[in-house]
Amino acid sequence: MSFDYQIADVFNFEETVYSHHMSPVATKHCLVAGHRQEILAVSWSPRYEYILATASADSKAKLWDVRRASGCLITLDQHNGEKSQAVESANTAHNGKVNGLCFTSDGLHLLTVGTDNRMRLWNSSNGENTLVNYGKVCNDSRKGLKFTVSCGCSSEFVFVPYGSTIAVYTVYSGEQITMLKGHYKSVDCCVFQSNFQELYSGSRDCNILAWIPSLHESVPDDEEVNIIYTN
């Protein structure tokens, strides 16, 4: 089988591109601006076609409705402080750069990671920090960190590059399930393929690994299944 690819479009940018994300539901979008430093990660909501999340080196994460010209909807506040326009300008999501974010598969929550070695889970409708404790999530990436969540599992998992490994947590409890080991250098990105329930990871060792769920023993239908991924 041969593939004959052609360039569909070319985009010219004056600044460095750190992250991009094509919306799974919308057809056109407008440019938004509102961070004081470089934006390191962007993600479109899988639930609402006009909702965009951005993460920046200015310690802020914002939710936008790109139809509005008046600014962002919410500036996320790790302390769940007062919701007012004056106070929001000082809100921070992390005590360091926010360099990764990802919506849950239903779009109801947003996960962010920062160089303060923390991961936070937010209610995407009101911006509330749910205060789930994931413990220390090592993050020394100078650029954007591409992590992902599962879809279609009995428990929803989040997969986060962690040095040369990938840490697996349950989204809503914060429990660390396992560490996926297979790369020899730092992992920069991972993505979940829901149709095959597979995880793909890319590393500075120039390898892309595919991870598949491994069920070590059969369990009754009414019991929850813990999924361990192997490559």
Give the pLDDT confidence of 155-183 residue by residue, as tens digits: 899 999 999 999 999 999 999 999 999 99
State the pLDDT confidence band at 90, using cuts at 50, 70 and 90.
confident
Instruction: Give the least confident one: 192-196, 204-208, 213-217.
Output: 213-217
Q: What percent of the chain has a predicted confidence (pLDDT) above 90? A: 59
Q: What is the DSSP string of the chain?
A: -------------SS--------SS-S--------SS-EEEEEE-SS-TTEEEEEETTS-EEEEETT-SS--SEE--TT-----HHHHTT--SSSS-EEEEEE-TTSSEEEEEETTTEEEEEETTT--B------------SS--B-EE-SSSSS-EEEEEETTEEEEEETTT--EEEEEE--SS-EEEEEEETTTTEEEEEETTS-EEEEEEE--S---TTSPPPPEEE-
Segment 115-128 shows an average pLDDT of 96
d(CA 152, CA 138): 27
> What are 68-80's pLDDT values in tens digits?
877 789 999 999 9
Identify whether the C-beta of residue 97 lies closer than 8 Å to the C-beta of residue 40: yes
Q: What pLDDT sits at residue 61?
A: 95
**pLDDT higher for 48 or 16?**
48
> Residue 193 above 50 pLDDT?
yes
CATH C-level class of 15-145: mainly beta
The answer to whether residue 117 scores a pLDDT higher than 60 is yes
**For the chain, what are the domain ranges?**
15-145, 160-231
Q: For residue 223, what pLDDT is reported?
A: 46
Please give the model's pTM, rounded to 2 decimal places. Answer: 0.79
pLDDT for position 14: 53
Q: State the chain's mean pLDDT as an integer.
A: 83
